[in-house]
Structure 1
């Protein structure tokens, strides 16, 4: 069981409470679609704060498969075991970045894509990948345990999200909970074993989104997705868009109203409107801001952007901080007083660039060239801000990867801290060296792991007899001192071998010696 948080429209994230049976339903469906052979080499690259990881980890390992672990999907080209990856499970924007750079291994047979609308053009391009057999489009909210519908997308086909997975029922309903005709748009409702308990400690919101199932006589519930969909004549579901002001950007579900609420809380902001806009690097958040005090000086606007973003980062995760902040004298309105979205100016990253200052050193020139290529700009100056040019967390990973290929080393954290070419060049390293990780021994007391708690709570008469052994016969005579040195080195390096357990008056405790 676990709780996973999604963005909330009031500035308060919602904790979705997922029970054991919900995950079992996901695993049961997956075992019907994916064979054990399909799961021999699943790229596990998603943060456990994002529910795609539930499929990568629980489904793969419970089905006899194995994972190839990475910090993110864009790190795939640098993995030593990249050619063992058979299945990639990620968001469309990440797979598109890998495809553009030609970094999808030929060993990949299946690609699962979820978290964002999957464009047919990307599907067609992926099927040109040598050895690729299947591209699956997977749809589902966290409230229905990761996936609710799926389809195998075909080259040259039409975009759709398929049909409900096993143990799940889908209904497309009108506002009065009546089924809509085929080809008519309505809100998608989901029922079945994957529907979760609701929102942690928020009974009112749970009652609003998890409603009684009008087609069930056993007291079941349906979850209101807020997604506008329609049935095709063949029973396949087509996704149209969000009913409310919620979007998905790079797999993250975001309430735009939450960002707007944080913006207008700042004294420097009088009005604000946020939307997700398509660009060369996928969808990016754009904030249109009417400042409390008008300023036309470029330097003053740059300082204001920096202050506003800093204030947002104090309350929101990085993926919810808009890549672009555009200042307007007033938000455009229609004759009836509503916001005129069509009149909002399009974003041009080059308009947000500082007065061009050419890179001087060879390192600055290399970093600027990488930024310009990844951000698709003609040129980048040493004082330009990476995030004001449209950079974000996923693009920053591409920059780090490209820099490593050129022998330049810095981390995504460095890029977030030093956001100009000039600042980044001051901390970047060059050469073949790598990051040195502290390998010193762990010492002192530690908490018992859940499996250790279970072990000591279980009735056992001779705990020290709970062990395993294997007899090895060497092919040639061994030198005792060499074996002893090797075992000593293992004992020092692997902290778990130095873990001691002792029973106290208040229970068992653990300590590294």
Structure 2
């Protein structure tokens, strides 16, 4: 066998698309079963109607429970500076809609079953709101008002379109485009696909050229049909058997809340943020590499330690999202592929953090290997009774996003992607999202405001950072020592607060006395 040089390997890797590199890296880490790409997804013979994918079915079902919810509205932004060709931009949006059937899909009931209805053609209009005459002190307020209002408009899944663009004209050379799409049509991976295609199409259309993008090998509905036909028989039973064994007698996290849980969840959410220092972020990466685990696993182990501290439970259950794109044909598709996995870690017998990392690694890789079973089928297999005041199987989720969005390089424009707008709704008690940035690892903790106060969540994030600072220096530290150290730090913080407040009260009293003496004199 011919030996391939390291330079040749690096050369070949550099030619891969960002998504292909991500799949390769996941496979090398053991997160993707190498046999999963051997199956080829065929094109379907019937265009429409077609069955829903399992992921679509999950969101469709939740929409039927609460048709007025905006919890699954995804709203993202592109900021343009320079000479914007609005016609080319609108043309690019419509070309993307025409390329991807998922963006022309609605959902209807036929013979008692929900199905995908795919429109052969759909024309999207890009409305323009002129804000150029507003003074600067009012402009930001109006942007916030308009974008929040747009993000909170409810979608009807039976009516097209399930995406809404709007362009805010801020000044002669400044524009902000907001694109709001229902989650049933898009996921995080899809956003990268969208940005890459928009870049290529806009450049071509500005130059008066046709679309340079190749025809897609399949469409989302092809995947949906293949998924349902593929996940049967022995393959289905193997997946069900694994999850039934793994999640037998699943506990419920008993988090200390600021208010008792209501009979029906209100879905109102808020967020608190944490930016880990660059040095700490690099130390966490170094520890992960040293221990042979991914950054996700190290952060998850620390988060589960934090949950152990708050609940005093050893059996810690956390949900996570998985891209669920293991076939080459679907890497360039826009659609909703994400599945939810349940990660259950045993923290009993006072393990060292190093031992806990190994447990988390085993749990995570086992879940990745059995990721194809849809979350709802796991719920059904375990015969979990659905409750109106909490999510089934898990109430806390952790997601680490390590897929960077591609750069926007557009003709005569400086363009950048901005964070998505929060819908202020949640189906979870807690949802910790983390992302690796150039400045350091950033975290945002979304929480149910019916259960928690902002002060409690701020303290939780501070405790999370304390744990991270401890484990990078002492990976051999035992769980009980970690908990004791955290208790000592929290006690010291409370003492410092009392001392500070006592000084403030004393100074205030002195100030009042001084003013009283001056008044008398």
TM (norm. structure 2) is: 0.23
The structure that is helix-richer by fraction is: 2
By relative contact order (CA 8 Å, sep 6+), the higher-ranking structure is 2
The structure that is strand-richer by fraction is: 1
TM (norm. structure 1) is: 0.23
